[in-house]
């Protein structure tokens, strides 16, 4: 038996001491470059197992993939899924009354049948429905609803073409590790990155983390196959510049696959804050989201509406659509459905 086949068949056994070493690196605050170099070879074989299970599941279980290109399309989608949304509302009430519950399903990230952990957030008032996609956590890969929705979409949107360059706008998260494991094969190059602060040149590596400013990417024209972004685009100060940069670096036929906070009741994007010459003007109460590389969080500049699709088209993208995931078996069921945007150059 070859070494590669031995490792593939014994991934779980071999991974155990490696993961212990990786956790030790976390505890001793070794630089992230060292930690990733320790675990990356084993993520490769773990990803082969993940993809095998995922392909097997979706071969047997066909799920709707409805492309939404307009507000009318969205209304039709909701009409078609009113029972699922009513189910989500019932689950919200159950959680409010009984506390934590578990829901059986299939994780599109790690490819395992699991019991998703659901709980009621302390940040949501009792009179409001609980947002389930922020809770239904996979106990194996730690992904929650909107991240699993992204994995499901990636399984649909990414081709099997070899030697793809894929830019992922995160690098220190659990999502990055699962993404790397699942898509580093076939000669693909995964370029993870984080925004590390102002006045840093894109492409700079600091303590093993690559810095990229989505408004000033370091990549050459027509050099990238896919850009993947999980709730990053609401934190850029100029979305038009960000879209133009994505168009510049993508190859023809390349894709932006972005999870975004999309407000279906807004025809026009709401600007929460604006930056000019280093000074920020606020038009509403300051909104701060979590940031994996800064305890200060990340300022939210936009609540996106339907005109976002027009902005991508105006930049030159030939097709732009939204994907809305409502599926209890996949741990994606909510009173506020999870939305992702796909733009094709």
The pLDDT of residue 162 is 93
Answer with the one of 45, 60, 75 that is the final residue of a domain.
Answer: 60
Shared-domain flag, residues 178 and 299: yes
Shared-domain flag, residues 181 and 308: yes
Q: Is the confidence at residue 258, as pLDDT, over 70?
A: yes
CA dihedral 165, 167, 170, 174 (to 10 degrees): -40
What is the C-alpha to C-alpha distance for residues 1 and 11, in angstroms, rounded to an integer? Answer: 15
What is the C-alpha to C-alpha distance for residues 280 and 236, in angstroms, rounded to an integer? Answer: 12
Shared-domain flag, residues 186 and 41: no
The pLDDT of residue 297 is 95
Contacts made by residues 97-104, CB under 8 angstroms, sequence distance 24+:
103/136, 103/328, 103/331
Q: How is 77-136 classified by DSSP, letter by letter?
A: HHHHTHHHHHHHHHHHHHHHHH--EEEEEE-TTT--EEEEEE---TTS-TTSPP-GGGT-
Answer with the one of 26, 41, 60 that is the final residue of a domain.
Answer: 60
* Of 12 and 262, the one with more pLDDT: 262
The pLDDT of residue 240 is 98
The pLDDT of residue 5 is 41
Question: What is the pLDDT confidence band of residue 288, given thresholds at 50, 70 and 90?
Answer: very high
Shared-domain flag, residues 178 and 321: yes
Mean pLDDT confidence for 95-109 = 83
**CATH number of the domain bearing residue 234:** 3.40.50.150
Q: Is the confidence at residue 268, as pLDDT, over 70?
A: yes
Is 156 inside any structural domain?
Answer: no
Q: What is the mean pLDDT of the chain?
A: 85
The pLDDT of residue 47 is 84
155 C-beta neighbours (distance < 10 Å), count:
18
Mean pLDDT confidence for 169-196 = 95
Shared-domain flag, residues 197 and 313: yes
Percent of the chain at pLDDT exceeding 90: 58
Answer with the one of 44, 60, 76 that is the final residue of a domain.
Answer: 60
Is 147 inside any structural domain?
Answer: no
Is 204 inside any structural domain?
Answer: yes
The pLDDT of residue 83 is 86
| Nearest one of 115, 119, 123 to 132, comparing CA atoms | 119
The pLDDT of residue 243 is 98
Using an 8 Å Cβ cutoff, are 274 and 237 in contact?
Answer: yes
The pLDDT of residue 204 is 97
Q: Is the confidence at residue 158, as pLDDT, over 80?
A: yes
The pLDDT of residue 36 is 55
Is 231 inside any structural domain?
Answer: yes
Label residues 212-245 b or e (16+ Cβ within 10 Å = b): bbbbebebeeeebbbbbbbbbbbbbeebeebbeb
The pLDDT of residue 28 is 42
* Of 273 and 261, the one with more pLDDT: 273
Shared-domain flag, residues 56 and 187: no
Percent of the chain at pLDDT exceeding 70: 81
Question: What is the pLDDT confidence band of residue 121, given thresholds at 50, 70 and 90?
Answer: low
- Between 72-76, 134-138, 237-241, 287-291, the lowest mean confidence (pLDDT) is in 134-138
211 is in which domain, residue-wise? 161-325+334-344
Q: Is the confidence at residue 325, as pLDDT, over 80?
A: yes
Shared-domain flag, residues 166 and 55: no
Q: Is the confidence at residue 335, as pLDDT, over 70?
A: no
Is 101 inside any structural domain?
Answer: no
Is 143 inside any structural domain?
Answer: no
Question: What is the pLDDT confidence band of residue 89, given thresholds at 50, 70 and 90?
Answer: confident
Question: What is the pLDDT confidence band of residue 13, given thresholds at 50, 70 and 90?
Answer: very low
Tokens, residue 340: 């992702």
The total domain count for the chain is 2
Is 170 inside any structural domain?
Answer: yes
**What global pTM score does this model have?**
0.86
The pLDDT of residue 172 is 93
Shared-domain flag, residues 52 and 168: no
Is 274 inside any structural domain?
Answer: yes
Mean pLDDT confidence for 114-122 = 77
Question: What is the pLDDT confidence band of residue 305, given thresholds at 50, 70 and 90?
Answer: very high
């Amino acid at each position: 038996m070859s070494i590669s086949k031995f490792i593939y068949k014994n991934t779980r056994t071999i991974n155990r001491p490696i993961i212990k070493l990786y956790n030790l690196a976390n505890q001793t605050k070794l630089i992230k470059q060292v930690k990733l170099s320790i675990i990356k070879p084993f993520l490769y074989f773990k990803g082969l197992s993940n993809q095998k299970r995922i392909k097997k599941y979706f071969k047997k279980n066909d799920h709707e993939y409805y492309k939404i290109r307009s507000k009318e399309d969205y209304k039709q989608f909701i009409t078609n899924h009113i029972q699922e949304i009513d189910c989500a509302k019932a689950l919200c009430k159950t959680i409010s009354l009984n506390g934590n519950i578990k829901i059986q399903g299939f994780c599109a990230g790690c490819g395992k049948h699991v019991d998703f952990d659901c709980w009621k957030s302390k940040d949501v008032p009792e009179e409001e429905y609980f947002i389930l996609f922020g809770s239904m956590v996979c106990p194996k890969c730690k992904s929650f609803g909107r991240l699993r929705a992204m994995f499901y979409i990636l399984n649909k949107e990414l081709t099997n073409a070899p030697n793809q360059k894929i830019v992922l706008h995160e690098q220190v998260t659990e999502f990055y590790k699962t993404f790397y494991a699942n898509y580093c094969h076939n000669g693909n190059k995964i370029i993870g990155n984080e925004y590390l602060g102002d006045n840093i040149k894109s492409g700079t590596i600091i303590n093993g983390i690559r810095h990229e400013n989505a408004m000033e990417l370091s990549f050459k024209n027509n050099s990238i196959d896919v850009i993947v972004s999980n709730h990053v685009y609401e934190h850029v100060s100029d979305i038009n510049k960000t879209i133009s940069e994505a168009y510049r670096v993508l190859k023809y036929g390349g894709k932006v696959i972005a999870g975004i906070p999309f407000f279906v009741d807004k025809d026009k994007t709401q600007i929460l804050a604006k930056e000019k010459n280093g000074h920020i003007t606020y038009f509403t109460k300051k909104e701060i989201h979590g940031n994996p590389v800064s305890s200060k969080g990340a300022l939210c500049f936009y609540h996106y509406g339907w005109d976002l699709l027009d902005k991508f088209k105006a930049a030159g993208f030939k097709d732009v659509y939204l994907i809305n995931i409502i599926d209890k078996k996949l741990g994606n069921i909510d009173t506020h459905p999870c939305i992702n945007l796909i733009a094709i150059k």
